[in-house]
Amino acid sequence: MPESSFDRNVFINCPFDEDYEPILQGMLFCILYLGYNPRIATERNDSGENRLEKIRNLIESSKFSIHDLSRCQASKKGEIYRLNMPFELGIDYGCRQYHNSCSGKKFLVLEEKPYRYQASISDISGCDIQIHGNDYQKAIRKVRNWLVTEGDAERIGPARIFGAYTDFQQWHYEKQLAAGFSEEDIQDYPTAELFDAMKEWLAQ
């Protein structure tokens, strides 16, 4: 994915598990629909690229950042906490504090459930955390409201974005089946190609 303007880039730090996929794809579409550029670690898959350096580059090249802390807690006994998301939030916060060209960065911090994050990351308990309840429509609404408030996004209503996203999903699903993709292929679709598909639909 080509580099784009710092002022239009939105870095996304979130889980990549199957259950979270509807929320991630909904947010990606919303960001593109409002005229911004989503930047995410999976946008390119060069195994020779150092992941931490890639994330640092994405953070430094993005004025806006979305950090979803929904998977920081263990879901069952014996499971280890997932610390990648709060770690990347910490990198981004440090970038805003110590990198002169990034002092104007804006953050949206998301969680599935209210107050849960305080048990593991009490340092951010004074921050304004937005709750999506594992609902992709709520996540889209939170992202839309944030980009309108903190950016210069057009004041398009969330319901219009939901409708457009539903239309895109149907168009994309039928297009992929016609191109020889199986159900499993569509579920495992590369992020860069998904970006291209969303841009193609929006251009129409």
* 118 in any annotated domain: yes
Structural domain harbouring 65: 6-203
* 1 in any annotated domain: no
- CATH number reported for the structural domain that contains residue 97 in this entry: 3.40.50.360
pLDDT recorded at residue 48: 78
* 77 in any annotated domain: yes
Confidence band for 129, pLDDT divided at 50, 70 and 90: confident
DSSP character string of the chain: -----GGGEEEEE---SGGGHHHHHHHHHHHHHTT-EEE-GGG---TTS-HHHHHHHHHHT-SEEEEE-TT-S-SSTTPPP--HHHHHHHHHHHHHHH-GGGTT-EEEEEESSTTGGGGT-GGGTTS--EE-TT-HHHHHHHHHHHHHHHS------HHHHHHHHHHHHHHHHHHHHHTT--HHHHHT--HHHHHHHHHHHHH-
pLDDT tens digit sequence for 135-183: 999 999 999 999 999 999 999 999 999 999 999 999 999 999 999 999 8
Q: How many domains does the chain have?
A: 1
pLDDT tens digit sequence for 34-54: 999 999 999 987 877 898 999
